[in-house]
């Protein structure tokens, strides 16, 4: 398929894609600012899978997958729980990667029919036994508070 044909196909299918998934971004503060791109996939009426990846250039990279529970319409509280990976590129942690777990509580509003904003608060938990090579540096990192906002476009 020619490159031009592929671009036309993507442009024509983009509205259909937005009816099946959510696309967006989140800005989070968990030990520092982290800007991430997000994709949300519906599993059923009350459950979504959100996958995000991002970070702060040359400092940290973070990717995570969260399950969104109890989603409704308009203003509603919901909960996120998931697992993630953080890689560090500076300081004492340079070159290290850790596995994290997170739990968040959030509230969402639909500003427009396809635009959603969700501020959230939660915790990021690092299990020492799962990150043995990083054990000495985890004493002050075991539980990190999280604060953020997601902006999603889609269904």
Q: What is the pLDDT of residues 88-136, one digit of tens each?
A: 787 766 777 878 888 888 877 656 667 888 888 888 887 765 566 655 5
Cα distances (Å, whole numbers) of residue 144 to 33, 99, 124, 138: 13, 13, 5, 11
Residue 48 sits in a domain whose CATH number is 2.40.160.20
Q: 155 is written with which tokens?
A: 């269904």
Predicted local confidence at residue 36, as pLDDT: 92
**Residue-wise burial string across 48-61, b where 16 or more C-beta atoms lie within 10 A, e elsewhere:** bebebebbeeeebb
> What rounded mean pLDDT belongs to the chain?
76
The domain tally of the chain equals 1
Q: For residue 40, what are the domain limits?
A: 3-154
Q: What is the pLDDT of residues 62-78, one digit of tens each?
A: 888 888 776 665 667 77
- Provide the greatest CA pair distance for the chain: 54
């Amino acid at each position: 398929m020619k490159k031009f044909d592929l671009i036309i196909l993507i442009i024509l299918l983009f509205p259909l894609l937005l009816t099946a998934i959510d696309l967006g971004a989140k800005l989070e503060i968990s030990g520092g600012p982290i800007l991430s791109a997000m994709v949300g996939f519906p599993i059923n009426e009350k459950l979504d899978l959100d996958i995000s990846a991002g970070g702060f250039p040359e400092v940290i990279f973070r990717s995570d997958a969260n399950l969104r529970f109890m989603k409704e319409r308009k203003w509603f509280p919901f909960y996120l729980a998931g697992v993630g990976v953080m890689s560090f590129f500076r300081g004492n942690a340079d070159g290290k990667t850790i596995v994290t777990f997170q739990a968040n509580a959030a509230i969402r509003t639909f500003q427009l029919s396809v635009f959603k904003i969700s501020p959230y608060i939660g915790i990021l938990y690092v299990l020492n036994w799962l990150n043995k090579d990083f054990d000495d540096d985890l004493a002050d990192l075991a539980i990190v508070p999280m604060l953020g906002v997601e902006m999603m476009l889609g269904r």
